[in-house]
A = this chain, B = another copy of it.
Amino acid sequence: MVLVDKLRSTDCKPTKLMDLEQIKCQSCSISRLCLPVMLADAEIEHLDSIVKRRKPYQKDDVLFRFGEPLQSLYAVRSGCLKTYTLDADGIEQITGFYLPGEIIGLDAIANNTHQSFAKALDTSLVCALPYNKLDILAGQIPGLRSQLLKIMSSEIQDDKALFLLLNKKNAEQRLAAFVINLSRRYANRGLASDRFQLPMTQVDIANYLGMAVETISRLFKKLHKLDLLELKQKEINILNMQQLSHFAGTSCHV
């Protein structure tokens, strides 16, 4: 995560960036969140050999478009990306935000066709995983097959949770839950969970959560008034995580 932090700071030298582009799975700081989990060294090396490390994508660069044949899944190494479709009027409909260690494009496997657009929100490094090669490798390495299935299952879990959030919670609960979800994901990556940069605009958050931007703005203000969080520019500062979680409507299942 040190490497990731270096990358995210604006003063990193081009040489540093080149180094980062070359980092192998073996030494990647987020490998424990990614496909290599539970693989032996030799297996990781095998996986590493099919990974194509791309030059960094700049803000607004597009990784793939809706309808394109699936060539590769993409593992995020640093930065942040979003996926979206366009509705009948050509309006963007955001379907997901992706942080380091997360895999983009899993929904394309069913018909070998991308079901969305993917765009960088920030300067971002990704690893391209050619799907046909990955599939073959999954046949040879049980741990990889297993991890791939787990990652997909995890995405299904997250989707169901999001579904419940949107379906059952009101605007303020949605926003609170969204912030907490981001916070948890940062925490999993060893980054600060109570103070971080929002990688997306409020317009994007509103779009993703199915709300008006005005509502987002008002609710951030309300959460601030309640001393639950602070938002300065894009920096978010969670002041009372427990209360905020409670506010989000403690999603208990039992």
Is A153 within 8 A of B106, CB to CB? Answer: yes
What's the least CB distance linking A73 to chain B, in Å?
Answer: 10
Q: CA of A209 to CA of B155 in the docked complex: distance in angstroms?
A: 21
Q: CA of A210 to CA of B249 in the docked complex: distance in angstroms?
A: 16
- A221 in the interface, Cβ–Cβ < 8 Å? no
How many chain copies does the complex carry? 2
Chain B residues positioned under 8 Å from A157 (CB to CB): 107, 110, 115
Is A107 within 8 A of B66, CB to CB? Answer: no
* Chain A residues with a Cβ closer than 8 Å to the other chain, count: 49
Chain B residues positioned under 8 Å from A167 (CB to CB): 93, 166, 208-210
| Residue of A66, A93, A151, A251 contacting most chain B CB atoms (<10 Å) | A93
Residues in chain A within 8 A of chain B (CB atoms): 66-67, 85-88, 93, 95-96, 106-110, 115-116, 135, 138-139, 142, 145-146, 148-157, 159-160, 162-164, 166-168, 208-210, 249-254
